[in-house]
Amino acid sequence: MKLMIASDIHGSALYCGQLLRACEREGADRLLLLGDILYHGPRNDLPEGYAPKEVISLLNPMKDELLCVRGNCDTEVDQMVLEFPIMAEYCLLELPCTGTVFATHGHVHNPHHLPPLKQGDILLNGHTHIPACEEIVDMEGRTYRYLNPGSVSIPKEGSAHSYMIWENGEFIWKNLEGEEYMTWKTDSRC
């Protein structure tokens, strides 16, 4: 199985289109969206190509291939126009060769406010618009991995418009042109 992971489209049809072309190029089995799909939010400038209705028309035909969690800019009104569920606060993924991944947007659960995790679990979220791959140690000394794909449409701190690929226990960060810029392989054996 090959999973593509992306976050923070924020209504940009331009970058959503580039993401979907990358998804096709990658041959991903599923696309996991980590929230903030249609609205740019009051703290962000309008992204280039802002056209939420076009984003709807790009994503709805892919409804059977999408997994989503709710971002802080996603609302019940968004759910009314999108034909796939977006209102879950998180999802747990059991990935072969990887283990448990707690996928969420990041505005509630993040490295500063951890969800219930076990030693070795992975916290995966967007929200910050900054790619990340960091080890986290909690108050009891348990270690986790924090991963963030960055943002599709509004990258911050000089990062690229980006996404992640997970396959066979390896996470790969790529820009929308498909160029790798970071990788992390889990300790699990396939």
The domain spans of the chain are 2-185
Q: Which residues of the chain have pLDDT under 50?
A: none
Question: Over the range 67-90, which residues count as b (16 or more CB within 10 Å of their CB) and which as e?
Answer: bbbbbebbeeebeeebebebeeeb
For 78-131, write each residue's pLDDT tens digit. 999 999 999 999 999 999 989 999 999 999 999 999 999 999 999 999 999 999
Contacts for 34 with CB less than 8 Å, ≥ 6 apart: 5, 6, 7, 8, 68, 69, 71, 103, 104, 105, 106, 124, 125, 126, 127, 149
Residue 85 in tokens: 């569920």
Three-class SS state of 166? strand
CATH fold of 2-185 reads Purple Acid Phosphatase; chain A, domain 2 (3.60.21)
CA distances to 48, 98, 111, 190 from 132, in Å: 24, 17, 11, 24
pLDDT at residue 64, as a whole number? 97
